[in-house]
Structure 1
Amino acid sequence: MILVLRALGVGDLATAVPALRGLRAAFPDRTLALAVPAWLIPLVELIGGIDQIVPTDGLASREWGIDPPHWAVNLHGQGPQSHRLLLGARPQRLVAFACAPADHHDGPAWDADEHEVHRWCRLLAWYDIPADPTDLGLRRPSPHRVPVGVTIVHPGAKVMGKRWAPGRFATVARELTRLGHRVVVTGSTAERDLAERVARQAGLPGDRVLAGRGDLAELAALVAHGRLVVSADTGVAHLATAYETPSVVLFGPVSPRRWGPPPDRPWHRTLWSEELTGRVGTDQRADRRADWQWVRPALAAIDIDQVLVAADEADRAGQARGAVTTK
């Protein structure tokens, strides 16, 4: 067995797909087991090649419950906690970044500025396992449970510092609707109030709020068969990359050089104000105070017109490829 740990979120799992495919190709006859939170299982099923899922819920306080693996691969972080967790499975070999506190020296050095996709491919290359960083695609789910050809506005993000102002998302949604887009607003169950607020300010009917409805597989289907995604730097943006759905991604505290879509795809647009990234505080100009209570200056510097221009460019590039459904 090859045991792989990636117990994080949607974007984290999506950026690990090339490494997972590399492991699958390197060990075609061994069971490939992926340790992830149970809520990510619908997304794991869209990757393909995973033989066994090991839920990580509560794992820190219990045994792994599996036979000792041939290799344990840490695609979770640089350690030492994740290294020690995998060593608890008693693997023959740990594949991971070097970490002195975990007494693991057989691995490359961590590079904090490296793109997340390339990071894990480089880790495997150290152990003579090739992985293709462009192999980001996911299986395309059936659209039978979701509307097809919609433009997805996703105002939420688990990290509050990555959120753009709700009022600005609402203005973008309203203007895209005026331009002929069928806009829906998505988010997690916890973000439903935020999504309803954005939809209400945008003048959208209540049935356009899809936040908290359906599971992760339905969100993937919505993106896979969508026209355009406008979001913060969060999981839904990585689904747009996986399905090559045109997107506009707003970056704040983290550079798109570390988490953005491949730069050679003109149907993806990233917006980022690098010179303001390191500043602390909020910018409340031209917006209500409540809208900006969590927003960092790098995000505040991105204005509505920039987003609309980027959305038009991404939409046109997607239609030129013939990959966008608008009806």
Structure 2
Amino acid sequence: MTTTRVLVVRPDSDGDVLLAGPAVRAAAAGWPDRPTRVTLLVGPAGRQAAELLPGVDRVIEWRCPWIDPEPPPTTREHTDWLVERVAAEHASLALVLTSFHQSALPTALLLRRAGVPRIVAISTDYAGSLLDVRLRPGVDFDDDLPEPERALLVAAAAGLALPAGDDGRLAVRDVPDVRDLVGPGGHVVVHPGASVPARAWSPHRCAQLVSELARRGHRVVVTGGPAERDLTARVAGGDGIDLGGRTSFAQLAGVLATASAVVVGNTGPAHLAAAVGTPVVSLFAPVVPASRWAPYRVPHELLGEQDAPCRDSRARVCPVPGHPCLDSVTARDVVPAVERLAEVSVCASR
């Protein structure tokens, strides 16, 4: 039986790739009459998440000049590499997944050059022959949908659906045992960093939270990437377990999976927590809409001033002195939310 090859494109960061997970699983489910293999095209910042997604058979990594926040030059050599790599996949279908502010059309042009015969995507702009199926925001669907549902619409337009028994939540595979790092579980994770500075709660607020949680008897684990070691050390102080730079992305999933609650901004680990089913206290800066990027289908509480002047600005650095949308939130606001969600987590495990 001939295998159908589907290319799914999401060249963004880890969080965006995790949010594409349900659409990837729909692609992997394929059609009843033939097996399907999925290749996922991502950027360097999404590779870790891509390796954890169920349904992915192969990953192509390419830095996309119209998506990457620090884009490489758009050269013939750079684009030809992708065209040749995609052509070698012999994909019969491509799903180009984008957020509301991104265009699928430059990617579609390169996929056409690579010989992909059928391409499905969302596009506000007229697509001509670049797309075989074009979904129009505000016409074919409500453009304020959560990101995973937006991606599933693209899969559905290609005739793909989640398999029976798949509830459409975020998911990852191969979560490792991390008891050597965090003990038996039941801890609270505080993740102070964010890929976009405007979405991060200030370090002094995070440090106050760790101290207050510890004072109330919680075991607190502070997480962060290799470049955030100074930040996590400052936040953990003498009250938290500092795991800054000590975990892979898969190990971070394990740390989050065994936690009772996670405190994090609107950044990749919030979606990783949702993918392992752990409740999230979301310090959510309104520079992007919470309706699209809040933790998906997991118990969560949203903190932060959602009507702040920076609302919907997509600012990467806070444009308002004092970062009031998040720094108006204090540890005393966060602790009760953590304890409410931790109780939800305990009840769910009984």
TM-score tier (shorter): 0.7 to 0.9
What is residue 233 of structure 1 aligned with on the other side?
266
The 1-side partners of 2:309 and 2:283 are apart by 12
- Pairing partner for 1:278 from 270, 287, 310: 310
1:170-215 CA-partner distances (Å, limit 9, x unpaired): 1111111112222121112222222222123xx336xx22122232
The 1-side partners of 2:107 and 2:124 are apart by 10
- Pairing partner for 1:204 from 217, 228, 239: 239
Determine if the alignment matches structure 1 residue 98 to structure 2 residue 123. Answer: yes
- Pairing partner for 2:106 from 66, 70, 81: 81
Map 1:216-231 → 2, pairs under 5 A: 216-231=249-264
Give the stretch that moved more between structures: 96-105 or 16-25. Answer: 96-105
Residue 185 to residue 53, structure 1, CA distance change in 2 (3 Å): same
The 2-side partners of 1:277 and 1:228 are apart by 29
Superposition deviation, residue 256 in structure 1:
2.0
| AA aligned opposite 1:116 | E
Residue 34 to residue 262, structure 1, CA distance change in 2 (3 Å): closer
Q: Say if 1:118 and 1:133, in contact at 8 Å, map to a contact too.
A: no
What is residue 299 of structure 1 aligned with on the other side?
326
- Does the residue aligned with 1:258 lie in a helix, a strand or coil? helix
TM-score using structure 2 length:
0.79
- Pairing partner for 2:16 from 12, 16, 23: 12
1:79-110 CA-partner distances (Å, limit 9, x unpaired): 23332233332201111113546534531113
- Count matched residues: 306
What is residue 214 of structure 1 aligned with on the other side?
247
Give the stretch that moved more between structures: 75-84 or 152-161. Answer: 75-84
| AA aligned opposite 2:310 | G
Unaligned runs of 5+ in 2: 65-77, 312-317
Q: Say if 1:146 and 1:221, in contact at 8 Å, map to a contact too.
A: no
Superposition deviation, residue 230 in structure 1:
0.5
- Pairing partner for 2:288 from 254, 262, 265: 254
The 1-side partners of 2:11 and 2:220 are apart by 32
What is residue 206 of structure 2 aligned with on the other side?
169
| AA aligned opposite 1:87 | R
1:37-82 CA-partner distances (Å, limit 9, x unpaired): 4564453343222222222258546244224310121024432333
- Does the residue aligned with 2:190 lie in a helix, a strand or coil? strand
1:127-151 CA-partner distances (Å, limit 9, x unpaired): 3322467332222512145324232
Superposition deviation, residue 282 in structure 1:
3.3
What is residue 183 of structure 1 aligned with on the other side?
220
What is residue 92 of structure 2 aligned with on the other side?
70
- Does the residue aligned with 1:47 lie in a helix, a strand or coil? coil
| AA aligned opposite 2:81 | R
Q: Say if 1:80 and 1:99, in contact at 8 Å, map to a contact too.
A: no
What is residue 60 of structure 2 aligned with on the other side?
54
Residue 268 to residue 100, structure 1, CA distance change in 2 (3 Å): closer
Q: Say if 2:176 and 2:250, in contact at 8 Å, map to a contact too.
A: no
Residue 178 to residue 140, structure 1, CA distance change in 2 (3 Å): farther
- Pairing partner for 1:136 from 170, 173, 187: 170
- Does the residue aligned with 1:274 lie in a helix, a strand or coil? coil
1:217-264 CA-partner distances (Å, limit 9, x unpaired): 11111111222210101111111111111220111122321111246x
Residue 98 to residue 195, structure 1, CA distance change in 2 (3 Å): same
What is residue 69 of structure 2 aligned with on the other side?
none
The 2-side partners of 1:215 and 1:60 are apart by 30
RMSD (Å) for aligned C-alpha atoms: 2.5
| AA aligned opposite 1:241 | A
* Identity within the alignment, %: 31
| AA aligned opposite 1:71 | L
Residue 120 to residue 277, structure 1, CA distance change in 2 (3 Å): farther
- Does the residue aligned with 2:94 lie in a helix, a strand or coil? strand
| AA aligned opposite 2:290 | P
- Does the residue aligned with 1:121 lie in a helix, a strand or coil? helix
Residue 120 to residue 177, structure 1, CA distance change in 2 (3 Å): same
The 2-side partners of 1:42 and 1:278 are apart by 30
- Does the residue aligned with 2:307 lie in a helix, a strand or coil? helix
Residue 84 to residue 190, structure 1, CA distance change in 2 (3 Å): farther
The 2-side partners of 1:117 and 1:18 are apart by 7
| AA aligned opposite 1:154 | H
TM-score using structure 1 length:
0.84
The 1-side partners of 2:106 and 2:167 are apart by 26
